[in-house]
Structure 1
Amino acid sequence: MNTHRNEHRVVVTGLGAVTPLGVGAEETWEAVTAGRSGIRALPDEYADHTVRIGGLIDDARVDALLGHTERRRLSRSSQYGVLAGREAVSAAGLKPGEPWPIDLDRFVILSASGYGPTEILHEGTRALDTRGPRAVSPYLSIFGATDAVSSYLSVEWGTRGANQGVSAACASGTVGLGEGMRLIRHGYADAVLVIGSEDAVTPQDMASTANMRALASTFNDQPHRASRPFDRGRSGFVMSAGAAAILLESEESARTRGADYSAVLTGYGVTSDAHHATAPHPEGLGARRAMAQALADAGVEADAVDYINAHGTSTRYNDESELAAIDHVLGEHARRVPISSTKSMTGHMIGAAGVVEAMFCVQAMRDGTVPPTINLDDPEFPGFDLVPHHARAVDVSTALSNSFGFGGHNASVVLERAA
C-alpha cells in the first residue's frame, strides 16, 4: 500500500541532456530510438592506452552555447551539467531573466556525479607540479567540487533553496532523483532540479578504470560494437561523458503555474551491498532490495511494471546479477516485461547515467516506445525480453529504472504516467 497518498505527488516538468548521442533531450531520444551508437575512437593522446574508445560529446556545439568565462573556468563535466540544467528549466517553461512563478526559497538544485569534475583537478595538479603554487587556479576549490553545477546555477538563477552535491558512484543520478522526490513529497521543497554530469573520459580516469579491468577492451577497432549488455561477447563497459537533468515539482506547483507534465515519480529504493569495493553481490541481494523498496514505495505490484531500463553495464558480473535480481523481484513477470539497456548506445555516463535513463523512461511513456538493446547478437539470457536491436511500440504506464555502482550502491526509481 502506498503510504504517501496524502502527501505531495512529484511530477516531471522538464528534461535536459548533453550526451554522446546529441545535445538536447529530444535529439538524444531520437538517436536512442533509432538504435544509434554514440561510442567513438578516442584522440591520439590515448594511443598507448589499452582502451581507446569512449562516448564523447560534440564539444564544438557545447562551446557555441556557453559564454567565454564559462568555457574558461568550468570543467567539461560542469559545462555539460549547466547546459542540461538550463534546457530542463526552459522546457518546463521557466525563462532565465524573467520572474519565475515558483518560490525561489523552495527551489532546490542537486548536482550528482560519480567521479566529479576531475579534469579541473588534474589541470591543477599539473600546474602545481610544473609551474609551482602560484600557477594553480583560484577557482579550483570552487569548480573542482561535486556541487560545482548546483552552486553555479543557484547563483545564476537566484534560487535560495538547498544546492548540494550527491555522489554514489554509478548510482549518483538515481539517488539524486530519489532524494529530490523525498524533499518534495514531504514538503521541504516545491521544485528540485536534479542534474547528473560526468566527464571521466580523461587519460587518468580511463587508465585507472581500464587497469581495474572494468572497461571493454576488445573492440578498439569497432567502437560502435563495444557496448553489448547481456551479450556473450561483452568484455566490459564503455566510459562516456555527458549530463542529463530532470526538473521535479510538486503537482500543486505545476498545476498552479500551468506547467505540462506527463510523468510522476512515485517510488524510490536505495541500499548498499556491504559486499565488495567493485563487484556486485553475486545474488544481487542489494539490487533486489532496492527494486522491492521502490515498488513498495510507489504502491505498485510487480506485474504492473511495463518496462525496465536496466543498469545493464555490459560487464559479466553486473548483467548476470541484475537479471537474477529482476527475476527474484518480479517473479514470472520478469520473463514477460521488456527490459533494455540504453548504455548499449550511450555508453556508461557514470553519475549522469541514472538521470538520463530515467529521462528515457519518461519519454518511453510519452511516446509509447521502448528503446532497444543494440549489439545483442548472442544473448546469454534468452529467457528475458531484452528488446534486441530495434525499438518497439509498447504502451508504458509504469517504468522501473535501475542504477548500481562501485562501492555497493544500489538505487531504483519507479515512474508512472500522469493520470
Structure 2
Amino acid sequence: MAEREPVRITGVHALSALGRGADALLAGVLAGTPAFTPVRRFDTGGRRVTVAATLPEVGTLADELADAIDRACRAAGLDRTHRAGAALFLAAHGGPHSLPAPDRPGGGDAGPEVPALAGHLARRCGLGERTRVYTTACVSASTAVADAATLIGRGDLDRVVVAAGYLVEPDQYALFDAGRALAADGAVRPFSAGRQGLLLGDGVVAVVLESARAAARRGAPTLATVAGWGRAGDAYHPCQPHPRGHGLARAVEAALRRAGLPGTAVGYVNANATGTPYSDASEAAALGRVFGAAAGRIPVSSTKAVHGHALEASGLLELVVTVLALGHGKLPVNAGWLGPDENCPLDVVTDAPRPATTAHALTLNAAFGGANTALLVGAP
C-alpha cells in the first residue's frame, strides 16, 4: 500500500558533546567548533588515538534515553493519553550497562538484550506496548525513522517516538582504534584533502513523528515534514561502500521518488561523510550519480566534524541537526577543512554557516555491510 498520510516531526530532543537540548546542538553545529577532547570516561592508555566528543556528566544509557524520550514528548505537547498510544522504535547497541540492575533479566551484572531496554523505556516513559529495536550499526536510527514514516504514512500508526543512543564506551572505541579508523591527528575532516578518519561522539536523541491528522487534532506545531526516505544495499564489501556510490545513490533516488520531487528541490545535504578517504569519495560519487553536474552546486556538510560519529544514534542526531538548520535558516559548517580533494567535487560549506534558501534537505547515512539510507526533510 502506498503512503498517503503526510508525516510530521512535532518534537525533538538531543544530547551530544555540544550539550543538552536542541538549542545547544544547533548553537554548536553553527559555531563549527569541534567538540573533541581527551577521553576521561575510561582509560585510553595504549591506544593510538585518545580523543572523542563526550559530554562530561552523563548517566547510564537507559537514564539518558528515558530523559530524551520524555523531553521530546513534552516538546511535542504529548499528554499521558497521547503517549499511551505511541509506539517506540529504538536504535541502540545495548550492553551490560543499558539497564539498571533491578530490570536486568535475573538481576546481577549480565547485560540485557536491546528488546529488554525498549520495553523498559516504553514503560518508564508511559508509551504504548508496541516497540521495535534496530541494531543495524550506523543506519539503525535512520532505518527506524523510515519504518516509522512508512507505517504512519499508510495509516497503520498515528504516532511513533524514535529514540537512539550511543555513549562513547571502551569496547567500540577499542575496535575502531585497532582498525585504524580513528583520525590520528585528532580532527575529522569530511571531504577534505588530508583527512585521516573518524572520531566517536556521544549522541542520545528522541524524535516524535506523527501523521498530519493526528498532529492537527492536537493543534501541535510542526517542526518539519519527513517528505521521503530510501534504503539500498551495495552488496559490495563487508566494510567498504561501492566506490561509485551505487547503493547510496539508489537510496537518494528512492527518497526523491517517494516525495514526488525532482533533484532540483534539494538545497542542502547533511552528508554521512565520516572523514575517511574511501567512504567520503564514494559518497561524493553517489551525489554526482544522482544530481549530475548540479552536485557541485548543492551545499554539503557533515556535522560529524563537530559532534563526532554517534554510531547507532548518528542518523537521528543528524536528522535533528538538519531539521533545526532548516528551521533556523542556516546551514552548518563542515569543520576541519584543509582544502579540496579532487575525488570530492562538491560545494562544501566551509568557514561560516550559509543562509538556507531551501525548503528540502537530505540527510544521509551508511553502515558496514553496505547499508545506505536517505531521509528527505522539508520545512513545515
Calculate the TM-score normalised by the size of structure 2: 0.93
- 2:357 corresponds to which of 376, 388, 395: 395
Per-residue CA distance 1:284-323 (angstroms, 9 max, x = gap): 1111111111111111100110111000100111100001
- From the superposition, tell whether residues 274 and 383 of structure 1 become closer, same or farther in structure 2 (CA, over 3 Å): closer
Match of 1:53 in 2: 51
Per-residue CA distance 1:333-355 (angstroms, 9 max, x = gap): 21111111000001100111110
Q: Secondary structure at the match of 1:276?
A: coil
Is 1:183 the counterpart of 2:163 in the alignment? no
Match of 1:413 in 2: 375
> How far apart, CA to CA, are the structure 2 residues paired with 1:405 and 1:389?
29
Match of 2:211 in 1: 250
Is 1:108 the counterpart of 2:76 in the alignment? no
* Residues 332 and 349 in structure 2, CA contact (< 8 A), matched pair in contact too: yes
- From the superposition, tell whether residues 380 and 119 of structure 1 become closer, same or farther in structure 2 (CA, over 3 Å): farther
- From the superposition, tell whether residues 149 and 396 of structure 1 become closer, same or farther in structure 2 (CA, over 3 Å): farther
Query: Residue 119 of structure 1: CA displacement?
Result: 5.0
* Residues 322 and 361 in structure 2, CA contact (< 8 A), matched pair in contact too: yes
Query: Residue 161 of structure 1: CA displacement?
Result: 4.5
> How far apart, CA to CA, are the structure 2 residues paired with 1:90 and 1:36?
29
> How far apart, CA to CA, are the structure 2 residues paired with 1:34 and 1:179?
33
Structure 1: which amino acid aligns with 2:71?
A: E
Is 1:273 the counterpart of 2:234 in the alignment? yes
* Residues 103 and 190 in structure 1, CA contact (< 8 A), matched pair in contact too: no
Structure 1: which amino acid aligns with 2:379?
A: R
Per-residue CA distance 1:78-115 (angstroms, 9 max, x = gap): 333222212211110125xxx33x3734x1111112xx
Per-residue CA distance 1:172-218 (angstroms, 9 max, x = gap): 1110110010110111111111111112x222221112122211123
Is 1:211 the counterpart of 2:173 in the alignment? no
* Residues 214 and 315 in structure 1, CA contact (< 8 A), matched pair in contact too: yes
* Residues 88 and 128 in structure 2, CA contact (< 8 A), matched pair in contact too: no
Is 1:83 the counterpart of 2:82 in the alignment? no
* Residues 18 and 242 in structure 1, CA contact (< 8 A), matched pair in contact too: yes
* Residues 20 and 240 in structure 1, CA contact (< 8 A), matched pair in contact too: yes
Match of 1:287 in 2: 248
Is 1:92 the counterpart of 2:60 in the alignment? no
> How far apart, CA to CA, are the structure 2 residues paired with 1:218 and 1:283?
28
Match of 1:133 in 2: none
Name the Cα RMSD after superposition. Answer: 2.3
Structure 2: which amino acid aligns with 1:32?
A: V
Equivalent residues in 2 for 1:33-52, closer than 5 Å: 33-43=30-40, 45-52=43-50
> How far apart, CA to CA, are the structure 1 residues paired with 2:151 and 2:12?
19
- From the superposition, tell whether residues 414 and 37 of structure 1 become closer, same or farther in structure 2 (CA, over 3 Å): same
* Residues 111 and 148 in structure 1, CA contact (< 8 A), matched pair in contact too: no
* Residues 69 and 125 in structure 2, CA contact (< 8 A), matched pair in contact too: no
Answer with 1 or 2: which has the greater Rg: 1
Per-residue CA distance 1:355-408 (angstroms, 9 max, x = gap): 011111111221111111011122214742110132111222001110001111
Match of 2:337 in 1: 376
* Residues 77 and 241 in structure 1, CA contact (< 8 A), matched pair in contact too: no
- 2:121 corresponds to which of 138, 153, 159: 153
Structure 2: which amino acid aligns with 1:377?
A: L
Structure 1: which amino acid aligns with 2:261?
A: V
Match of 1:138 in 2: 107
- From the superposition, tell whether residues 140 and 411 of structure 1 become closer, same or farther in structure 2 (CA, over 3 Å): farther
> How far apart, CA to CA, are the structure 2 residues paired with 1:371 and 1:144?
37
Match of 1:71 in 2: none
* Residues 80 and 242 in structure 1, CA contact (< 8 A), matched pair in contact too: no
* Residues 17 and 87 in structure 1, CA contact (< 8 A), matched pair in contact too: no
Structure 1: which amino acid aligns with 2:34?
A: S
Q: Percent same amino acid among aligned pairs? A: 30
Match of 2:162 in 1: 194
- Unmatched segments (≥5 aa) in structure 2: none
- 1:26 corresponds to which of 15, 23, 27: 23
Q: Secondary structure at the match of 1:171?
A: helix
Match of 1:317 in 2: 278
> How far apart, CA to CA, are the structure 2 residues paired with 1:32 and 1:103?
30
Structure 2: which amino acid aligns with 1:321?
A: S
- From the superposition, tell whether residues 175 and 139 of structure 1 become closer, same or farther in structure 2 (CA, over 3 Å): farther
Query: Residue 270 of structure 1: CA displacement?
Result: 0.7
Residue correspondences, number? 375
> How far apart, CA to CA, are the structure 1 residues paired with 2:223 and 2:311?
26
- From the superposition, tell whether residues 145 and 406 of structure 1 become closer, same or farther in structure 2 (CA, over 3 Å): same
Q: Secondary structure at the match of 1:15?
A: strand
- Unmatched segments (≥5 aa) in structure 1: 64-75, 125-135, 220-225
Calculate the TM-score normalised by the size of structure 1: 0.84
Runs of 4+ in 1 over 4 A off after TM superposition: none
